[in-house]
Structure 1
Amino acid sequence: MRVAIVGAGLAGMATAMDLVDRGCEVEIFESRPFVGGKVGSWVDKDGNHIEMGLHVFFGCYYNLFALMKKVGAIDNLRLKQHTHTFINSGGKIGELDFRFAVGAPLHGLKAFFTTSQLSAIDKMANSLALGTSPLVPGLVNFEGAMKTIRNLDSISFADWFRQHGGNNGSLQRMWNPIAYALGFIDTENISARCMLTIFSLFLPQKQKLLS
């Protein structure tokens, strides 16, 4: 069987590999002069290395790790410190620092309680929303928590967060940047199911941030 794939992004290349493994003859068509899609990059005329998107992924991206192992790229993976950096107006820097000797999930609590990105009021609201979320019971009953989370596809993360005691300060200063990193859209448009699914997989991971 001959198959044509339009787009040499991560999905297109992964699909091509699977089809080749099944004996198909595959041809990929890409309009850009480089491959990779949102994880692609190129060097401009001034020698600057330009990235198409945010090259950030998490320890729960099991399929991506499997793909990297398959193509022999896993040895080139560089682990970074577990610190999310926020660049605010005026150049002020905030951090969400997961470095903690005890490990998951306590390093997540440490990160959110000590972050300089949120005010004390924001931290209280944030704690209330996350503390009453399916993430907490999910630590002992993952499937039960996911059953609840799957029913949250019709509500935005922002609306869900506010309904559970979260505030706009936390959304604007922390969750919007994270939502953009995960899905390239803000918390008013990304579903609660999407965000909470990622968090439920993310929470028990020792490696939080990789690039």
Structure 2
Amino acid sequence: DIPGIAARCDVLVIGVKPYLVGGVLAEALPSLKPETVVISIAAGVTLHDLRDAVQGHCHVVRVMPNTPALVGAGVFGIQEDPALPKDVFAMILDLFGLLGSTIVLPEKKFNAFMALVGCGPAYVFHFMDALAEAGVTMGFTRQEALELVTQLVLGSAKLAALPGSHPAILREQVCSPAGVTIAAVNHLDRTAVRGHLIDAVLAAYAKS
């Protein structure tokens, strides 16, 4: 039960749907201790909302994860909070650092992080699925196509992560004059794929 869990925990991670956060914290409230740290990973629930919900009983932290945390490669946005003791904040950074990388953000950038990085894996998987479908169309089995596309994305991400790398330069390096790659990239540009990707992220931002 929620009060029992809250009573036994030093750190309580709230990972329910946003509309349930208030009810969960209301139920946990009698069991929250001054040294308890409540961490919310619920989208759209602000630090102000969390403070109101715990009524000053304990510390609260707002974190936005993404699903690559499941394989230790997550990116975690942690909202800047000058009111949080430095040792508690350091503990939060260390905790989520075990599952990937962390970035401390002011509140005004938190929803933008959510739209770009929190939602981001869905954009990448959508892109990968489309490439795999193209592979199947050209004669690869579905398993072959998925394995090829997965390795393609892994390798490309490693290149992009090299110091001094930039996606635009890396793209240009693949596009030989009058070659097959530039023909494909020109088609992407003519059909405004770049603009649609930008609009998709901005749609998520507007929704947040």
* TM-score, normalised via structure 2 length: 0.21
* TM-score, normalised via structure 1 length: 0.21
- Larger helix proportion of the pair: 2
